[in-house]
């Protein structure tokens, strides 16, 4: 599949952000794919992510969704932050499960955006849904004039 310029930019932006994102790295996340206005991020639930009920702590699910949201809403190389987020937990995540959060832009108006994120398990069952409202701030993730070769796409990331 031929990548669009916008999808290539989204991949470079995601790679740049991920290099600096120590929280997502520490949780073992990886960017599976991304493009303009969307991103898919995966994470395997580790034993140290379990709560007192023996299931994935909701905070870790929130961070997974929030990371996918961040890569999606910054995909146009315009620095964007979360303005408001909400999550609904539907099913417990279990130790050893691979979860995938897919964020998709639903609307853009001025400096604000709306993104829906769905977290699914290995059986494509929905574990949680998340809605994020974004706010564009000043600046770019990759500054103008930067050498694009210094911001390669992360290994394995595709725009599908």
Q: Where do the domains of the chain lie, and which CATH numbers do they carry?
A: 5-142 (3.10.129.10)
Query: Contact 152/27 with Cβ under 8 angstroms?
Result: no
Ranking 15-24, 66-75, 124-133, 137-146 by mean pLDDT, the lowest is 137-146
Structure confidence by residue, pLDDT tens digits, 113-157 = 999 999 999 999 999 999 999 999 999 999 876 554 444 444 456
Measured distance CA(58)–CA(150) in Å, rounded: 35
**CA 48 to chain centroid:** 21
Q: Which of 45, 57, 72 is nearest to 132 (CA)?
A: 72
| C-alpha to C-alpha distances, 91 to 5, 56, 63, 128, nearest whole angstrom | 38, 10, 16, 7
Measured distance CA(95)–CA(126) in Å, rounded: 16
Query: Contact 98/120 with Cβ under 8 angstroms?
Result: no
Q: Read off the pTM.
A: 0.90
């Amino acid at each position: 599949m031929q990548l669009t310029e916008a999808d290539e930019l989204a991949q470079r932006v995601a790679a740049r952000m991920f290099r600096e994102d120590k929280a997502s790295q520490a949780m073992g996340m990886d960017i599976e794919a991304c493009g303009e206005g969307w991103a898919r991020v995966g994470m395997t639930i580790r034993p140290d992510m379990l709560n007192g009920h023996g299931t994935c702590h909701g905070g870790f699910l929130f961070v997974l969704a929030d990371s996918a949201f961040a890569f999606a809403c910054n995909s146009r190389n315009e620095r964007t932050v979360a303005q408001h987020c909400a999550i609904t937990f539907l099913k417990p995540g279990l130790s050893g499960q691979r979860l995938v959060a897919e964020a998709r832009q639903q609307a853009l108006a001025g400096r604000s955006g709306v993104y829906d994120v769905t977290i699914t398990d290995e059986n494509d069952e929905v574990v949680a849904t998340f809605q994020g409202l974004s706010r564009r701030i000043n600046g770019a993730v990759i500054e103008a004039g930067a050498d694009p070769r210094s911001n390669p796409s992360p290994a394995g990331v595709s725009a599908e």
